Amino acid sequence: MGLLNFLINQINAAAGRNQTFEELIAAGDISRVKALMVSRETATMEAIKEYDVEKHDIMKRLDKVVKDKEGNIKDIVQRWKLPIDYPKYINEVALVFIYGRPVKWSCKTEACRDAFDKFCDVLDKMHFDAKIREAKRYAGAETQSALLFRVYRNDDGKSDCQIRVLARSKGDEIYTYWDIYENLLAAAWGYYAKEDEKTTTYHFDIFTPKYTYRCVKAKMGWNVTPEPNPIGKIPLIIFQQKKEWDGATNLIQREEYLGSHTADTNDYFADPYLVVNADIVKNMPKKGEDGKLLVTKGDVQSISNVAGYITWNNAPESKKEEIAWLQKHIMTKTFTPDLESLKSISNVSYKTLRVMLMLAYIKADKTKEKHDELLDRTASLVLTIIGNVLDVSLKAECEKAVIQHQFQEPFAEDLTETLERIVKATDAKIMSEETAIEQNPLVEDHNREKERLSKEQEERTATQRDIFGSNQNTDDVFGGAE
């Protein structure tokens, strides 16, 4: 951008001229564009700090300085700093209960089979299942992440697509621009890139349905290069949420303090002290060595005037109760089950296990309300990429295809019990064979399985006709005999 445009933008900003989002981009005034967009920088940086145990407040605890009577430093006693990695544990449990097993896709439109096959193939090549787990992990840890779909030409000169996960801890800045109905009008990705060994520049790519604006920070203003968007949709899936341990930060900090303070107390009192009369001390261990010594003058009645040990029997019960109370409420406030307590339990039914893990299922169901929408948008975006870029011959099918998704249980259900239940329901004529196929956990593609069963039935019928003759009633090959 030239000096003239830079000065014009400065004058417009100073005068408070009301320009639209598109007008600001056209004028190259990207600084004001950023001001119109939403960034979760404050919440994200706070969450990143709490997610990293080395940045917990307990790590700021100072060592104890011991001074003599004159005020001179005599010794420095180390104080324990024991952060507890609750955020990672809570985040990983939440991730397992929503994306622990891959999302199951199905096509509702039977006439769009080729488009659906291409859809599944594209997701597989892009490692979608791994990428969405990564994005969810970052979102739970940082409150925001994104999947960026990039179309390009591969080494063979063919159109291809890949996914990059954007997250603040990876150096990515994520900006969004919404209307009052919470429709995403534009999204942006800020990042630093090395132009050469000595030069690093700041980039700010703005994505809209029609254009991608490549913006580079210059000494004065911005250099903006618009590029047509071949996809026709914003190529980002934005994950936004509260941190997974939201509401438990103070509880975690309190437990960390109690644990660190208890460790210091144990250093003082957990090992026994040897108590002796000062008159009989000869060649005893020095202070600071493994053997601790307490020297007294006069008679010590409790040790028969010779020597004995002082030991610390146990910690105060109130501290134990408080730590137990903290641990309980950290888990319940974050809807996280205590998996440690399940290690000693075996041979429980699937239904019993679900009840024991009810907190996690409640949290996952609440999360799915938002992720249902994200996955619907993902399916729509991938179909559009296929029809407009990867395989235009499938464009008509991609526009008609209706692809549905289904979250899978984090733990495999008892298949034997499920199949027995389906067979009993079918035999009792309270479930159709078609519904039985749809409920069968061993079947991945219900429509294709129905086609295969229908084809097999036709082949059996044809075989029976060949054996018993075309005039024979194949429904009763034995002529009604019992």
Per-residue pLDDT, 478: 47
The two tokens of residue 444 are 């991945």
Q: Using 50, 70 and 90 to split pLDDT, how confident is the model at 424? A: confident
Q: Give the Cα separation of 346 and 278 in Å (integer).
A: 59
Question: Phi-psi category of 194—alpha, beta or left, where left has phi over 0 and alpha has psi -120 to 50?
Answer: beta
pTM, to two decimals: 0.78
Residue 195: pLDDT above 70?
yes
Which residue did the predictor score with more confidence, 121 or 311? 121
pLDDT at 280: 52
448 versus 276: the higher-pLDDT residue is 448
**Mean per-residue pLDDT for 456-474?**
72
- Note the Cα 413 to chain centre separation in Å: 23
Beta bridge partners of 188: 175, 206
**What percentage of the chain reaches a pLDDT higher than 90?**
51
Q: Quote the pLDDT of residue 220.
A: 81
Per residue in 212-236, pLDDT tens? Answer: 999 999 888 899 999 999 999 999 9
Q: Residue 379: pLDDT above 60?
A: yes
Q: What is the mean pLDDT of residues 95-113?
A: 90
Lowest-confidence segment of 105-119, 274-288, 436-450 by average pLDDT = 274-288
Query: Do the bridges between strand 403-406 and strand 104-107 make them parallel or antiparallel, or are there none, so unpaired?
Result: antiparallel
Mean pLDDT of 257-276: 78
Q: Which residues pair with 165 in a beta bridge?
A: 147
The Cα 231–Cα 390 span in angstroms is: 10
With 60 as the cut, is the pLDDT of residue 304 above it?
no
**Which of 32-36, 188-192, 312-316, 426-430 is least confident?**
312-316
Report yes or no: 456 and 437 within 8 Å, Cβ to Cβ.
no
Bridge partners, residue 66, by sequence: 75
Dihedral sign of CA atoms 38, 39, 44, 45 in order: negative
Looking at residue 309, its pLDDT comes to 56
Beta bridge mates, 226:
213
- Over residues 5-58, the pLDDT tens digits come to 544 444 444 444 447 888 899 888 999 999 999 999 999 999 999 999 999 999
- pLDDT for position 287: 44
Q: Are 65 and 85 in contact (CB under 8 A)?
A: no
Q: In this structure, what are the phi and psi dihedrals at residue 114, rounded to the nearest 5 degrees?
A: -65, -40
**pLDDT number for residue 482:** 44
Q: What is the mean pLDDT of residues 179-207?
A: 92
The 8-class DSSP code of residue 38 comes to B
pLDDT higher than 70, residue 324: yes
Cα angle for residues 477, 480, 482 (degrees, 5° grid): 105
* Helix orientation angle between 128-142 and 86-99, rounded to the nearest 10 degrees: 140
Q: Is the pLDDT of residue 389 over 60?
A: yes
With both helix axes pointing from N to C terminus, report the angle between 86-99 and 41-51 in degrees, rounded to the nearest 10: 110
Residue in this structure with the two tokens 């150096």, named with its chain if needed: 171
Looking at residue 390, its amino acid is L
Q: What is the DSSP string of 377-431?
A: HHHHHHHHHIIIII-GGGHHHHHH--EEEEPPPSS---HHHHHHHHHHHHHTTSS
Query: Tell me, what's the pLDDT at 477?
Result: 47
Least confident of 55-64, 156-165, 338-347: 338-347
Q: Enter the tokens of residue 470.
A: 């075309």
Residue 13 has φ and ψ, to the nearest 5°, of -65, -40
Q: How far apart are CA 394 and CA 465, in angstroms?
A: 41
Token reading at 1: 């951008």
- Tokens standing for 198? 């000595």
